[in-house]
Structure 1
Amino acid sequence: MTAHYGAHEVMELHEVLTDTIDGINQFQLYRPHVKDPQLRSILDKQIQFMTQEYNNMVQAINQRGITQAIPYRGPRRFNPVYGLHNPSPQVPNTSIEEMDDRDVASGMLGCHKASAAFRMMASLECADLELRRMIQQGAVNCAEQAYEVWQYMNQKGWYQVPTMKETTTSTMINTFAPASPGPMRYQYQM
């Protein structure tokens, strides 16, 4: 393996694989605390996918035959609830017995967000195009899993989406306009 990859790639790959193991282990720790069957289904599906993705990465690098990374398929139809609707105060738990579905979902979401950013940064250090794309797809997969958990939390009212006054939103959005193509002013020489 070392003859085919650069030092940065090997180190980043080591970190991505370790992060994946940590995520799987973290989700396994959450499982006994889940009460809601919908959340349990999401958790189990994501653990299974994360394990499969990990095994695919290990197989790809060990056999030097990197295959297409498998995209995560989360729910597609969702109407987010916008606005704040009496959010309850949040405080840390004082014991493990207090851990509930909201805590689990929030932990899952945080794990996926961090892994998505981490994997995208790791992909930028890859010279090998196939390895780069595999890690990039892993970042997209984490983002899709995060969105699935976020949807669940939004439905439950645990992750509310604050909004601004319509005039503020409109003013901010309308400050941007398309750029005119205009004549080419610079010529690039190769």
Structure 2
Amino acid sequence: MSPQLGAHEVMEIHEVLSDTVDGINQFELYRPHVQDPQLANILDHQIQFMNQEYNQMVQALGQMAPLQGRPSKAFQSSQRSAPVYGVDNPGTTAPNPSGQQLSDRDIASGMLGCAKSSANLRMLASLECADPQIRRMLTQGAVNCGDQAYETFQYMNQRGYYQVPTMPQNTANAMLGMYQPASPDNQVPMQ
């Protein structure tokens, strides 16, 4: 890492580290309320990864040596399922009047929102960093959060908590078929 960081870098890193602590704390609060063993495994796996990633960031930032050769670890999902498309009798939902009792759907939805928000924050933070190693660490962190979000989405999708609406195939084909490859005349030659 560079011996000197820009003000934007320091503030963005501070925000990312604070967000990471908040996410770990939020997930720990969910833990006693989980009923489904599969969701408990996902939650535990993500808490463990978040703690490791947090410690890696703190350690990397505490050392005034280059981060080269020590790439951020990539998140490995424990879920492997194809998404279910379509809407099938979606249940109703409303705010939970009691924080004393959370459903697995509530917990998974909170986990998903946390991961999505953290992915956005990390990617935006990376765009403010001049140091290339910190920038890579933050972009990998954004990808990791995206992968955590997808793992949680897969769980929710399997249980019907997060259904994926579709549109008629001819409408999808018409919308996506509007785009054609750029013609060679529009391309700038590489030098």
> Shorter-normalised TM-score: what interval?
over 0.9
Native 8 Å contact 1:124 1:132 kept in 2: yes
* TM-score when normalising by structure 2: 0.93
For residues 114 and 76 of structure 1, what CA distance do their matches in structure 2 show?
A: 21
Gaps of 5+ in 2: none
Tell me the SS of whatever aligns to 1:110: helix
What's the offset of the Cα at 1:94? 0.9
Q: 1:157 to 1:3 in 2, by over 3 A?
A: same
For residues 24 and 92 of structure 1, what CA distance do their matches in structure 2 show?
A: 23
1:113-132 maps to which residues of 2 (within 5 A)?
A: 113-132=116-135
Native 8 Å contact 1:31 1:43 kept in 2: yes
For residues 2 and 183 of structure 1, what CA distance do their matches in structure 2 show?
A: 40
Native 8 Å contact 2:3 2:64 kept in 1: no
Counterpart pick for 2:161 among 158, 161, 168: 158
For residues 190 and 157 of structure 2, what CA distance do their matches in structure 1 show?
A: 50
Native 8 Å contact 1:2 1:10 kept in 2: no
Tell me the SS of whatever aligns to 1:182: helix
Q: Which residue of 2 aligns with 1:30?
A: 30
What's the offset of the Cα at 1:98? 3.5
**Residue 7 of structure 1 aligns to which amino acid in structure 2?**
A
For residues 186 and 115 of structure 1, what CA distance do their matches in structure 2 show?
A: 38
Q: Which residue of 1 aligns with 2:182?
A: 179
Q: Which residue of 2 aligns with 1:145?
A: 148
For residues 122 and 114 of structure 2, what CA distance do their matches in structure 1 show?
A: 12
Q: 1:183 to 1:47 in 2, by over 3 A?
A: closer
Tell me the SS of whatever aligns to 1:64: coil
For residues 141 and 154 of structure 2, what CA distance do their matches in structure 1 show?
A: 20
For residues 184 and 49 of structure 1, what CA distance do their matches in structure 2 show?
A: 43
For residues 127 and 187 of structure 2, what CA distance do their matches in structure 1 show?
A: 30
For residues 118 and 183 of structure 1, what CA distance do their matches in structure 2 show?
A: 35
- RMSD over aligned Cα, in angstroms? 1.9
Q: Percent identity?
A: 59
Gaps of 5+ in 1: none
For residues 185 and 117 of structure 1, what CA distance do their matches in structure 2 show?
A: 32
Q: 1:127 to 1:149 in 2, by over 3 A?
A: same
Q: How many residues align?
A: 188
What's the offset of the Cα at 1:97? 3.4
Tell me the SS of whatever aligns to 1:46: helix
Native 8 Å contact 2:85 2:166 kept in 1: yes
